[in-house]
Amino acid sequence: MAKKDNKKKNNAKNVPHRDNYARISYLYQLSNHLTLSHPALARGLARNMDLVGKKTVSKSSPLLKRTICKQCQSMLIPGLTMTMYVENLSKQKSPINDVLVWKCTCGKCRRFPVGKGEYVVFPDRNGVRID
């Protein structure tokens, strides 16, 4: 019984307020599509998407939110709108202090402490993710 129940819940078809999620997803894709042709519009749409998510308390994956700059809301695409590099600011240059930096064209940096090993975002952890 329990297994059946799990399966039923995993297919995520009967999500309440599905329209909010659909709107966020639509805005994300539209913003991605317009990133090069109309950068300002794309940023506006991404901002809109963020606000819709906050207002309706719709949770989205960190992996989705990471792809948008926190300052200028532009889509982070390597080679086009962002540069990335590994830096180590420690004196001893110990590998544990390696930091991966994603730098947006607006200058905002997003830093990932890469040297500390694999970090699994909450929705992907064992026991949380259902497949």
Partner 1 sequence: MAPNKPKNAPKKAPKASSLKELEKKKKQVFKPILDNPYTQSSTWPFVEPEIAASILDFLEVLLSPTGKYKASDVKVKQQVTEPEIVKHIYHGFNATVQALEDQAGINRGIRKQKETTAQPQITHLFICKYDITPTLLTSMFPVLSYTASKSSESRVKLVQLPRGSMERISKALGVDNTGIVGFKEGCPGAEALFELVNSNIKDVEVPWLEGLLTGESHMKFVPPALRNIATTAPVHNPKNNRGKQEQLNKSKSKVESKSDDV
Binds partner 1 (CB under 8 A): choice among 56, 61, 71, 90: 61
| Minimum separation from the CB atom of position 120 to partner 1 (A) | 5
> Which pair of structure tokens corresponds to residue 127?
């026991």
Taking CA 62 as the corner, what is the angle to CA 88 and CA 25, rounded to the nearest 5 degrees? 135
Binds partner 1 (CB under 8 A): choice among 25, 56, 71, 90: 25
| Minimum separation from the CB atom of position 71 to partner 1 (A) | 19
Stretch (H or E) spanning 50: helix 39-55
Cβ(97)–Cβ(89) below 8 Å: yes
Binding mask 106-125 for partner 1 (x = CB under 8 A): ------x-xx-xxxx-xx-x
Report how far apart, in Å, the C-alpha atoms of 26 and of each of 61, 66, 92, 114 are: 15, 17, 47, 31
* Separation between Cα atoms, residue 113 and residue 64, nearest integer Å: 19
Provide the CA 22 distance to its chain's centre, in angstroms.
16
Told to check if 63 binds partner 1 by CB under 8 A, we report: yes
Binds partner 1 (CB under 8 A): choice among 38, 41, 51, 86: 86
Footprint of partner 1 (CB under 8 A): 9-10, 12, 15-16, 18, 21-22, 24-26, 28-29, 32-33, 36, 58-61, 63-64, 67, 77-80, 83-86, 95-96, 98, 100, 112, 114-115, 117-120, 122-123, 125-130
